[in-house]
Chains A and B, each alone.
Chain A
Amino acid sequence: MPTNSDRQGLPAGVADISWNVRNNVTSAADVLERHLAAIDAREGDIHAFNIVLADEARLRAAEIDEAVAAGRDPGPLAGVPIALKDNMCTRGIPTTCSSRILDGWRPPYDATVVTKLHEAGAIVVGKTNLDEFAMGSSTENSAFGATRNPRDITRVPGGSSGGSAAAVAAGFAAASLGSDTGGSIRQPAALCGVVGVKPTYGAVSRYGLVAFASSLDQIGPFANSVGDAALVLEAISGHDQMDSTSIRRGPFEVSRQLDMGVAGLRIGRIADLPEGASPDVAARLDEAFDALRDAGAEIVDVEVPAFGYGLTAYYLIAPAEASSNLARYDGVRFGHRVEAPDTNAMYMATRTDGFGAEVKRRIMLGTYALSAGYYDAYYGRALKVRRRIAADFAAAYASADVLLTPASPTVAFRLGDKTADPMSMYLCDTYTIPSNLTGDPAMSVPFGTGDDGLPVGIQILAPALEESRMFRTAAELERRAPK
């Protein structure tokens, strides 16, 4: 079975690469070649990428090395190879969302996060596979084939950001970006044994992120360590005037608080957490509480009664927004088009051919939930549940600083295990969905292994914009994780 030893021989991570490149210890070109070599060696088995941008990355590495040679500082992510989920726009480079409907489309602009990565000196090595339009929990719903889990290639990497999680776990990139609408960063992070962060809604610009569910989508980083994830988050966060929902504040500064420990922090255990976690995962969660208690934190019991309603509310709100967001793929202006005798027939033929089954299912669900006569019973009620969940979390945070739950109910499952039963797939996101509904930050940090020696991720939840205490807790768990 593949283990961490696969990454031996690569630079340790974001912090080290950046320090080495900035101080001329290693060249960006050298760092990049070692990552490209890892891709050459294993990408055939894993299929993390929709496209590897080797040529572009080499040009970029040369620029960075020239900058360093000329005495300029390329930035805090100097020479760091980063993979992007293929639902973030890259100027002139195909952006597919792993869907046939975007065939041939090349965005005329970069997403804000891409611009920020560039300004920070990072190198984009490729664009990663995902469940079509980020709808799924296994990266099996891709028009270009499934991604496999680097820890065990018979298993899924989770999803929808499975390609980004796998790329980091396999050492194809030092870090990557994913998007999280209901757990699409945290669940694959847990299944692949890496760190994955969903920041506070509005902390990272969504400009250039192809929308799935606008009120829930948030971009965040994957990395092999909490510290590396912090550095990437700092580089991509901060206000963006191109995104009206962007919070008016500067970038996060979480790195320097990682060593503060958790002494005095109140860690909440949700007494009425919905059941469903397998015993191996539940055991790791108990150990995580013990580890934090040992580190000086206070463990408190809280209740979040509406937690369990998150899943049903989510599966009305997210499809409703998606049904509207995905209406623009009509064959008129860009992407896939199937010719037909008239406009309506063209719409139908194009969308029937261009979208996969899960996307169509959610478009239908969402269209129904918003329809005249059904709005109040479905979408309207889901919004009420959403407000209720937010109120419950606010009450819980009155007595706890952060909350701990499993990130995923189970370790990585086998490819094909859940594809026949959408409901079983949806249940993968039971623990992650509520933070998307509230807009609060949450992250998954690896904490030992479960069945079959596969990684377990612990989810840390915090109130809006309290990323600092979330990262402090994550860093402590990382230090105390079972070896």
Chain B
Amino acid sequence: MSQTVGATVSEETWTLRGYEMVVGLEVHVELATRTKLFSASPNRFGDEPNTNIDPVTLGLPGALPVLNRQAVELAMRLGLALDCTVQRSTFARKNYFYPDMPKAYQISQYDEPICVDGWLDLPGSIRVGIERAHLEEDTGKSTHVGGTGGRIHGSDFSLIDFNRAGVPLVEIVSRPDIRTPEQAKAYVSELRAILVAVGASDAKMEEGSMRVDANVSVRLPGAEFGTRCEIKNVNSVRSVGRAIEYEAQRQVAMLEAGESIRQETRHWDENDGRTHTLRSKEDADDYRYFQEPDLVVVDPDPEWIERVRWALPVLPAARRARLADATGQRADAEAILVVTDRDQDAYVLAVAGAGGDAGRALVHVKEAFAEQGERPSVPVADLAKLTRLEIDGKLTATQAKQVLAEIVANGGGDAEAIAASKGFEAMDTSELESKVDDAIAAQPEAWSKFCAGEAKAMGALVGAVMKASSGQADGKAVTALLETRRDIAIA
């Protein structure tokens, strides 16, 4: 297996004994509507069990579903954000018995989903196709008491909370375009960012408002797709990577041992880091889909679709590109990803707009603003001034960091005044050069090792300079001076 760590998702590859993995993801997200998909009960997480219920939610005899317009609009928003086509759609009944499914059928879009044929670009240059995104209702939540592991088998009794029943879900089905665990993780992270950006969902995997199932198969490059297994219970971005990597390894091992892969649904166990058979294809229910006769066709008119399209916010990919442009970095650079994910990209651009340096602002926001939200407490002008002092050589990076710490602690402040109060003065180059020469003279052994190519030996020299300058010297400048002198010495 070869895996390049730290590269962008477009560069790394995953292969094992010549096999590659083929992965498609099915992501369920709960829509952030006020009420449920087919009734007026609140769609709210964390309430007392069985308080957000009504005859429709409980599937009482005679109750009928009425489609929530806001849910349709949010589905359209996320579909358009994924460059899908919004089309005429219908609902079907998926019939199966389970205690937390009140009607014994789930109302779900089946052969005519609302959104089809889109794509999602991962940071880097990987494009993952979106086959469809369709609306459906969530089930209630069962809690199995007694027995082991919270499973229904062997439990003494079960409790059902119907608050979640009827909550609107969109299932987003990717094409099998994913080839590495890193791509899968990037897909989930990027999808999450888009869902949050368009206001379709809070997409919290830990609260179950975003749930990922992975279809995994392996093949020799260029061969037909292999038999796939569906992996359930993947509850974090990290698990997505671990689960599909484990599963692909398992399948390769089976093929190498001359066995064949059975199409089945498997359960990811976070604790032992393995997947386990849940049910084979032969045991799968026959869902007896047919068109839901209690609902009518959903056919958004073009005007409505266009209104939704125009109301879309700037999406994360475009925001990253904008930030990359302003800072001169790659769009998939770590700082760009982190800062955009924290919704602090607009702040960085505002600092630049106030006369600051975008590149330095990006670094400071990434390093020092992790605890701050979308709107950091430090006034834009204060950070702008700090970065200007750095660019003008009036503060070293190390000094700037200390000044910024005080600005953050006080929720603002004048960088120049703080620097003065700390006695920071930018050393001019000649002063720094003499300190570097002093260090070389004081440690001839370290110097000769450094010249012989031992990079580690540089640490002692830099340390001496920093000590001599009471920590005020710019580390980068010291390194540069040392390297220049070495190059001259060995030339």
Binding site for B on A (CB under 8 A): 88-89, 95, 97, 102, 105, 107-109, 111, 206-211, 213-215, 241-245, 320-321, 323-324, 327-328, 330, 332-334, 343-344, 347, 367, 370-372, 375, 379
Contacts and interface: CB of A to CB of B under 8 A. Distances in A.
B225 interface: no
Contacts of B66: 241-244
B61 A324 contact: no
Contacts, number: 100
Interface in B286-307: 286, 288-290, 293-296
B185 interface: no
Q: Is the interface of B mostly helix, strand, loop or mixed?
A: loop
Contact of A95 (B61, B97, B160, B296): B61
Contacts of A95: 61-62
A395 B94 CA distance: 36
A206 B64 contact: yes
B99 interface: yes
B288 A244 contact: no
Contact of A327 (B62, B64, B104, B290): B104
Nearest to A373: B286
A92 B267 CA distance: 44
B99 A343 contact: yes
Contacts of A215: 293
A328 B62 contact: no
B30 to A, nearest CB: 22
Nearest to B105: A324
Interface residues of B, number: 30
A241 B65 CA distance: 10
Contact of B104 (A88, A102, A328): A328
B290 A324 contact: yes
Interface of B: 55, 58-67, 93, 95, 97, 99, 102-105, 152, 158, 160, 286, 288-290, 293-296
Contact of A207 (B64, B93, B289): B64
22 contacts: A89-B61, A97-B61, A108-B55, A109-B62, A207-B64, A213-B293, A241-B66, A243-B66, A244-B64, A245-B293, A321-B290, A323-B288, A324-B95, A324-B104, A324-B290, A328-B61, A343-B99, A370-B95, A370-B288, A370-B289, A372-B286, A375-B288
B58 A88 contact: no
B59 A328 contact: yes
Contacts of A343: 99, 152, 158
A211 B105 CA distance: 14
Nearest to B152: A343
A215 B294 CA distance: 7
Nearest to B61: A210
Given A327-B95, A371-B286, A244 B61 contact: no
Given A328-B102, A370-B288, A88 B62 contact: yes
A330 B97 contact: yes
A102 B62 CA distance: 13
Contact of A107 (B60, B93, B102, B286): B60
A108 B60 contact: yes
A215 B99 CA distance: 26
Contacts of A243: 64, 66
A379 B95 CA distance: 15
Contact of B296 (A206, A242, A244, A324): A244
Given A109-B62, A343-B99, A370-B95, 7 more contacts: A208-B62, A210-B62, A244-B67, A244-B295, A244-B296, A344-B97, A367-B288
